Chains A and B, each alone.
Chain A
Amino acid sequence: MSNQPPYEIETDGSDGEVRVHIRGRVDVQCAQHFLDDLVRAAAGSAGDIALDLSSVEYFDSGGSVALLGLQQKLTGSGRALRVEAATAEIEGLLRLIDFEALARPLTQGEAVVESVPERIGQATLDMLADARELVAFIGEVILGLRDALLHPAQVRWLDTWSYMHRTGIAALPIVSLISFLMGLITAFQAAVQLRQFGADIYIADLVGLSITRELGPLMTAIIAAGRSGAAFAAEIGTMKVSEEVDALTTMGLDRTRFLVTPKVLALLFMLPCLTLYADVVGILGGLAVASGGFDIPIVVYLRQTAFAMSAWDVFSGLLKSVAFALLIAGVGCLRGFQAQTGAASVGRITTSAIVAGIFLIIVTDAIFTVLFHYWA
């Protein structure tokens, strides 16, 4: 916008009534400028204002809003504004606008201000309600799994198969990369310490145990929460927003059987497989460091690994991954059903599915670790 407005204002008349003549273009870009000029023109006297708009070339709602602003200012000081002359177009435009209604202040909804303790209390209650909902939903999922066991023919196997592909096989590249690097990093970190004591060979023990017991299941589960948990939430959330979930319900179909069980079954089967795969690749990562960087022969490394580990180490990791799978799929589907309306809601629940998924994985892992410690 240039400094020179595209219109001209001229005033004449005595104190009884000021006549304001406007020429040129009044558009939305210069609305504020126009209002300021009008107010300045009106300030010259104390009488009413008569506007002459008959030589205006262009006048849009920017002009109307300026007139509205001027009218409100004048009414405040007991003066009146009237349009004395205008082109047919401007008259049509002004007739559409209900100046009286717009002059009334908007009734604002009462803004509820909550104090800090109130907000903390509300957040705690919300969290408890969410935890309760999660527990109830996991129960629903487990009942769904029981039904699947009792009536395998009712399971939607085609869907399950496709989810197995998406959650399992499609995750292989990223799981390979992450677990290989985890094995490699663990081996390096261990080697630096163990070398001081000439105990390089124990790299194999450390890598084998930490990968199979902890890192393998944990990293794989976190990857699955980011890939599959998020995908489940977004998919069901979008279906919820576009009323597809409601359509299922009104057809009398069970949302758990249709939407949840295939996803849970797929992840329950694929996550332990991925974990086992991650264990192997992680140990290979350790092997690469040991044989490449610390001159430990491959056969010696593998024999040491086999000697250090028991079947329980691998099995406990797989056991954890089953629990993780249930939680990731469960919280993903639950968040999906919690979607409200609109695109933003789907974004929120997807984020929440990942965050809640990772949180639950870590908490569950801690519980398992303590349990196994006292059990073994």
Chain B
Amino acid sequence: MSAAPHDDSPIIEVCDLVAGYGETVVLEDITFTVARGERLLICGGSGCGKTTVLRHIIGLARPLAGSVRIEGEDIWAADELTRRHIQRKFGVSFQSGALFGSLTLGENVALPIAEYTTLPATMIASLVRMKLGLVSLDGFQDFMIAELSGGMKKRAALARAIALDPRIVFFDEPSAGLDPVTSVELDELIVQISRSLQMTIVAVSHELASIFTIADRVIMLDGKAKTIIATGRPAELRDTHPDPRVHAFFNRTPLEQVVGQSA
């Protein structure tokens, strides 16, 4: 909806990013772009730095070097105020939901709407209802967060992330910790919403099922190589990629075995 159809410039550009904490470099030489409306998935084994990359893109951790541009604006070159302005262009759904426990579900979704618009309370209430309806949680407005199940929390986090119709939504492990049925339902909901609302999705996950459901394109990181080792459509990476690490990941085989065969 938000993207002008004729605009072909990438919505996110990550250039020569070096990610790390303090002196420790976790990842380097990270360069990729995300097209408008694309669903990109960042994957890799546990501890490879997926979440770290995400934190650098959404402005939670400052990169050691390199730049992150969102709609052409460098999020890390900007001052605090501009950065907050850029951050309003996207929603983030955190791994454990990060919903505010002191508020009800309805208040959680209403918070960004009430803070960033001048709409009257009745309008906000029906917007909240609409958003909750999208994730099948209409009617649970008055529930406290602690009363929701794991799957409901994930959906609630999605509803809050899309509260202001952002152009981009970031997901950290969208379906981690959910049962397979709930997990696939959530993945399909993400795809459906992103298609209908023309949202760009950047998700971090290591769950193969999610990768194949959500992603148009996958970037695979490797903890030992400390950088991107593969980029492409999920099926391509699974079937034809020559790198044994990629092959092992996408076919769920132990790495030693694959390396042994190829050596």
Q: Measuring CB to CB, which residues of chain A are less than 8 angstroms from any residue of chain B?
A: 1, 27-29, 31-32, 35, 57-62, 64-65, 68-69, 89-90, 92-93, 95-98, 101-102, 106-109, 340-345
* CB-defined contacts of B113 to chain A, threshold 8 Å: 28
Q: Is the CB of B165 within 8 A of A89?
A: no
Q: Is the CB of B126 within 8 A of A68?
A: yes
Given contacts A28-B127, A61-B131, A102-B138, list 19 more A-B pairs with CB under 8 A.
A1-B118, A28-B119, A28-B165, A35-B123, A57-B4, A59-B1, A60-B165, A61-B127, A65-B123, A68-B126, A69-B123, A89-B1, A89-B196, A97-B133, A98-B133, A102-B130, A109-B142, A342-B146, A343-B101
CA distance A93 to B192 in the complex (A): 10
CA distance A69 to B124 in the complex (A): 12
Does B2 belong to the interface (CB within 8 Å)?
A: yes
Size category, B interface: 20 to 34
Which residues, 57 to 94 on B, are CB-close (under 8 Å) to A?
Answer: none
Q: Is the CB of B130 within 8 A of A60?
A: no
Which of A60, A102, A340, A343 interacts with B129 by CB under 8 Å? A102
Q: Is the CB of B127 within 8 A of A62?
A: yes
* CB-defined contacts of A341 to chain B, threshold 8 Å: 101, 146
Which of B4, B192, B196 gathers the greatest number of chain A CB atoms within 10 Å? Answer: B196
CA distance A61 to B117 in the complex (A): 13
14 sampled A-B residue pairs with Cβ under 8 A: A28-B113, A28-B119, A32-B123, A57-B4, A62-B165, A69-B126, A92-B197, A92-B198, A102-B129, A106-B139, A106-B141, A108-B142, A109-B142, A342-B101
Does B202 belong to the interface (CB within 8 Å)?
A: no
Given the interface pairs A93-B1, A343-B101, the reply to whether A102 lies near B126 with Cβ below 8 Å is yes
* CB-defined contacts of B2 to chain A, threshold 8 Å: 58, 60
Q: Is the CB of A93 within 8 A of B196?
A: yes
Q: Is the CB of B102 within 8 A of A344?
A: yes
Which of B1, B138, B198 interacts with A101 by CB under 8 Å? B138
Q: Measuring CB to CB, which residues of chain B are less than 8 angstroms from any residue of chain A?
A: 1-2, 4, 101-102, 113, 117-120, 123, 126-127, 129-131, 133-134, 138-139, 141-142, 145-146, 164-165, 192-193, 195-198
Q: Is the CB of B139 within 8 A of A65?
A: no
Q: Is the CB of B117 within 8 A of A96?
A: no
* CB-defined contacts of B142 to chain A, threshold 8 Å: 108-109
CA distance A109 to B127 in the complex (A): 20
CA distance A52 to B197 in the complex (A): 19
Q: Is the CB of B130 within 8 A of A61?
A: yes
* CB-defined contacts of A106 to chain B, threshold 8 Å: 129, 138-139, 141
How far does the Cβ of A215 sit from chain B's closest Cβ, in whole Å?
39
CA distance A344 to B195 in the complex (A): 37
CA distance A68 to B126 in the complex (A): 9
CA distance A94 to B139 in the complex (A): 20
Which of A31, A93, A96, A98 interacts with B127 by CB under 8 Å? A31
- Counting residue pairs across A and B whose Cβ atoms lie within 8 Å, the total is 90
How far does the Cβ of A241 sit from chain B's closest Cβ, in whole Å?
9
CA distance A39 to B134 in the complex (A): 25
CA distance A345 to B120 in the complex (A): 31
Q: Closest 10 A-B residue pairs measured CB to CB?
A: A342-B101, A92-B196, A344-B102, A60-B165, A341-B146, A96-B196, A65-B127, A89-B1, A32-B123, A65-B126
* CB-defined contacts of B197 to chain A, threshold 8 Å: 60, 92-93, 96
CA distance A342 to B98 in the complex (A): 11
* CB-defined contacts of A344 to chain B, threshold 8 Å: 101-102
* CB-defined contacts of B145 to chain A, threshold 8 Å: 342
Which of A1, A28, A89, A95 interacts with B198 by CB under 8 Å? A89
CA distance A58 to B5 in the complex (A): 11
* CB-defined contacts of B195 to chain A, threshold 8 Å: 92
How far does the Cβ of A53 sit from chain B's closest Cβ, in whole Å?
12
* CB-defined contacts of A60 to chain B, threshold 8 Å: 1-2, 165, 197
Q: Is the CB of A97 within 8 A of B134?
A: yes
How far does the Cβ of B135 sit from chain A's closest Cβ, in whole Å?
10
* CB-defined contacts of B196 to chain A, threshold 8 Å: 89, 92-93, 95-96
Q: Is the CB of A68 within 8 A of B117?
A: no
CA distance A359 to B110 in the complex (A): 40
CA distance A90 to B165 in the complex (A): 13
CA distance A57 to B7 in the complex (A): 13
* CB-defined contacts of A343 to chain B, threshold 8 Å: 101-102
CA distance A29 to B113 in the complex (A): 9
Q: Is the CB of B102 within 8 A of A342?
A: yes
* CB-defined contacts of A69 to chain B, threshold 8 Å: 123, 126
Q: Is the CB of A31 within 8 A of B101?
A: no
CA distance A89 to B198 in the complex (A): 7
How far does the Cβ of B38 sit from chain A's closest Cβ, in whole Å?
16
* CB-defined contacts of A345 to chain B, threshold 8 Å: 101
CA distance A92 to B193 in the complex (A): 9
Which of B102, B138, B164, B192 interacts with A96 by CB under 8 Å? B192
How far does the Cβ of B111 sit from chain A's closest Cβ, in whole Å?
14
* CB-defined contacts of B4 to chain A, threshold 8 Å: 57
Given the interface pairs A28-B164, A341-B101, the reply to whether A96 lies near B146 with Cβ below 8 Å is no
How far does the Cβ of A71 sit from chain B's closest Cβ, in whole Å?
11
How far does the Cβ of B124 sit from chain A's closest Cβ, in whole Å?
9
Q: Which residue of A lies closest to B162 (CB)?
A: A61
Q: Which residue of B lies closest to A95 (CB)?
A: B196
CA distance A297 to B2 in the complex (A): 85
How far does the Cβ of B81 sit from chain A's closest Cβ, in whole Å?
19
* CB-defined contacts of B117 to chain A, threshold 8 Å: 28-29, 31
* CB-defined contacts of A101 to chain B, threshold 8 Å: 133, 138
